[in-house]
Amino acid sequence: MTTPALEATDLVVEFPVGRGQKVHAVSGVSLSVAPGETLGILGESGCGKSTIGRALIQMPAPDSGTVRLGDRELTGLRAKELRGARARMQIIMQDPISSLNPRRKVKDLVWESHAIWGYDGDDKEAKIDEVLRAVGLDPETVRERRPHELSGGQAQRVCIARALMMDPVVLICDEPVSSLDVSVQAQILNLLEATKARYDLSLVFIAHDVAVVKNISDRVMVMYLGKSCEVLPSEDLHLRAVHPYTRLLLSSLPEAQQSSSANGDVVVERVAAELPSPLNPPSGCRFRTRCPLATDRCAAEEPLLRDIGAGHQVACHNVAL
Amino acid sequence: MTAPLLEVDDLRTRFLTPRGPMVAVDGVSLTLAAGETLGIVGESGSGKSVLGRTIMGLITNGPTTTVTGAVRVDGADIHQLTPQGRRALWGTKIAMVFQDPMTSLNPTKRVGTHLSESLRFHRGLSRGAARTRAVELLKLVGIPEPERRAGQYPHELSGGMRQRVVIAMALACDPKLLIADEPTTALDVTVQKQILDLLQSLAERLQMATILISHDLGTVSGRTDRVAVMYAGRVVESGETRDVFAQPRHPYSGALIESIPRLDAASHSLLPAIVGQPPNMLNPPSGCRFAPRCAFAQDRCRTETPALVDDVACHFPLTQALEVHA
């Protein structure tokens, strides 16, 4: 078996909020991304999906757990070593305009990482133009612009160009299309797909939109309240998902997006309850307060991810297989 | 046939901005019968929210705003009324639900106060009667323990609960028309469905006409009788929701529907994206405003503005059903 491009084990991220209380943002999540693979992380707001993305690039570092980029361990490195070690992992954020320094021009934004690393070859202009073209921007038009002169879609392209400049092996995309218009969203998704093939990237794609995640990913990890509840190949997402929470997510989609052939065996009654507080998550299975299948065992014992074949893992005591 | 509940006739909303005049809504006409549900879809900047607010009379003539055309609710032209006249209509004839429930609620007032305010103003109820009715309304929108919730402040409620309160406020005086402007955009998917189900069942039970404004085609597709697709301030296509989604005739509606990833499509399938960006409304393209991004545009499209004829504003409307629905 080849070494995963990125591997994380047992990540825990907690944020103290005073009075001895903590937000349990991520509680023991493991993942691995093979070279050239796209792992989708799917979940609602507050499930910890963005926190995982940030823990992977050590910004902030997880409270416990390990992150390996290729064969390099990132956790526990000193700041200076870390900067060198993680340069080949880049992140793209949700709001492209606010993640670009408003006072800098596009060419400087894209070149910034090289400037930081003190690289100053004669091919600077050529490299900038090449990477801008790679993301579908016309260098002549945008090179001298500042972020406020860009549309949301163009700004997201600049963010992707900037990430590509360091020749990364792993690209983390944190909700890269959710602030974009529908017609622009498809452009950026196609661009990410093309970029991944051209630059031999592995992607971690974090989003809340089920169909978007399904479209771009090879495998999907579904998260609920800081835990991973199901991991499965994306082709199986709408047909073979078995975790009650995944079923709830799928059944909440507008009818137009629902698949007519959805698995009818696991009927999920809608439960009106809302997301419990991450300050004080339920014992055992964290979904049990909203789960129609919940039993006493779910409160007492935390279900672990178990393999049910065909690359499919699920953390639930009660799903019938 | 009786007169429609809502008649919008050649409505134009024009703002004077520091960078020049901008026509946000450019000649929109709509009618809505009692109890009917109309969806308005479009991307950001298409003018759908401005249209909703202009219908409501929240945007009206002023120093930097010009509204022409007519909005008749039950026969009364909302832009010809005095401000007092409009206030009398708000809540009783026409009400609105906004996108972000937190900013629609006053953080210093209890939930119950939000509801009893309009009951006391419009219906002249006593404090006690208004309070009883407020609790009934909270129960109507599916809030558990309504008595306790009525005494709480907005920050003590979750996003979904807040949106239910906002809906209860809108319904307090039995409006005949409810305008919901992106009512679920700020909410999670699992909560989103609950709120849309609630709106739909209340509209049916109370015989209320609804305008559902959304950028999300999925939200609109299963829940409206008719739909109007907006692009750059104009309605480019309208019709029965089912027909528009199964066989869009305007190239923009077709491209928009196709560009959304589908759950039943294979992973890594190339999305038929629309090229370019939505136009700058300070300087919209001449002719058909979608022409610069349209795969079927011809010279005529760039010079001659297509009128909305037979529910579609296109010189060369599509004639074939979408493949994804075949």
Rg of chain A over all Cα atoms, to the nearest angstrom: 21
pLDDT (mean) for B122-127: 92
Question: Taking CB atoms and an 8 Å cutoff, what residues of chain A touch B268?
Answer: 193, 215-216
Instruction: Write out residues 171-230 of A within 8 Å (CB-CB) of B.
Output: 181-187, 189-190, 193, 208-212, 214-218
Q: Do A215 and B268 touch (CB under 8 A)?
A: yes
Task: Identify the residue with better confidence: B72 or B323.
Answer: B72
ipTM: 0.80
The pLDDT of residue B151 is above 80: yes
pLDDT for position A257: 55
Q: Do B273 and A186 touch (CB under 8 A)?
A: yes
Task: Identify the residue with better confidence: B51 or B310.
Answer: B51
What's the whole-number average pLDDT of chain B? 90
pLDDT digits (tens, 9 = 90+) for A191-215: 999 999 999 999 999 999 999 999 9
* Residues 6 or more apart in contact with residue A208 via CB below 8 angstroms: A42, A43, A44, A45, A49, A175, A178, B188, B189
The one-character DSSP state at B19 is: T
Question: Taking CB atoms and an 8 Å cutoff, what residues of chain A touch B158?
Answer: 274-275
- 3-class DSSP assignment, residue B227: strand
pLDDT (mean) for B139-148: 89
Task: Identify the residue with better confidence: A243 or A261.
Answer: A243
* A201, A37 Cβ separation under 8 angstroms: no
pLDDT for position B248: 93
* B271, A215 Cβ separation under 8 angstroms: yes
pLDDT digits (tens, 9 = 90+) for A15-37: 998 888 899 999 999 999 999 99
Burial degree of A310 (CB within 10 A; 0-12, 13-18, 19+)? exposed
pLDDT digits (tens, 9 = 90+) for B204-228: 988 999 999 998 888 898 899 999 9
pLDDT digits (tens, 9 = 90+) for A31-90: 999 999 999 999 988 889 999 999 999 988 999 999 999 989 998 899 899 988 888 999
Q: Do B270 and A190 touch (CB under 8 A)?
A: yes
Task: Identify the band that residue A271 occupies on the pLDDT scale cut at 50, 70 and 90.
Answer: low
* B228, B38 Cβ separation under 8 angstroms: yes
Report the percent of chain B where pLDDT is more than 90. 64
B10 Rama sector, left if φ>0, alpha if ψ -120 to 50, beta otherwise: left
pLDDT digits (tens, 9 = 90+) for A133-147: 999 999 998 999 999
Instruction: Write out residues 250-279 of A within 8 Å (CB-CB) of B.
Output: 250-261, 270, 272, 274-275
pLDDT for position A261: 40
Task: Identify the band that residue B44 occupies on the pLDDT scale cut at 50, 70 and 90.
Answer: confident
* B116, B133 Cβ separation under 8 angstroms: yes
Mutate to test the interface with A, among B194, B212, B230, B268 (most CBs of A within 10 A): B268
pLDDT for position B325: 43
pLDDT digits (tens, 9 = 90+) for B9-25: 999 999 999 989 999 99
pLDDT for position A179: 83
pLDDT for position A251: 87
Cα(B198)–Cα(B167) distance, rounded to whole angstroms? 9
Report the percent of chain A where pLDDT is more than 70. 93
Cα(B290)–Cα(B283) distance, rounded to whole angstroms? 13
* B166, B101 Cβ separation under 8 angstroms: yes
pLDDT (mean) for B290-297: 92
Task: Say yes or no: B158 contacts chain A, CB-CB below 8 A.
Answer: yes
pLDDT (mean) for B273-284: 87
> By CA distance, what is B44's nearest residue in A?
A181
Q: Which of A17-21, B172-176, B264-268 has the highest mean pLDDT?
A: B172-176
Task: Say yes or no: B43 contacts chain A, CB-CB below 8 A.
Answer: yes
Q: Give the pairing of strands A219-224 and A227-233.
A: antiparallel
pLDDT for position A264: 42
Nearest CB to A256; choose among B142, B218, B265 = B218
pLDDT digits (tens, 9 = 90+) for A94-129: 888 889 999 999 999 999 988 888 877 788 899 999
pLDDT for position A194: 94
Nearest CB to B218; choose among A153, A185, A253 = A253
pLDDT digits (tens, 9 = 90+) for B97-121: 998 888 899 999 999 999 999 899 8
pLDDT digits (tens, 9 = 90+) for A155-204: 999 999 999 998 999 999 999 998 888 888 999 999 999 999 999 999 99
pLDDT for position B321: 65
The H or E element that residue B53 is part of is helix B48-56
Instruction: Write out residues 176-195 of B within 8 Å (CB-CB) of A.
Output: 188-194
pLDDT digits (tens, 9 = 90+) for B59-101: 999 999 999 999 999 889 999 999 999 999 999 999 999 988 8
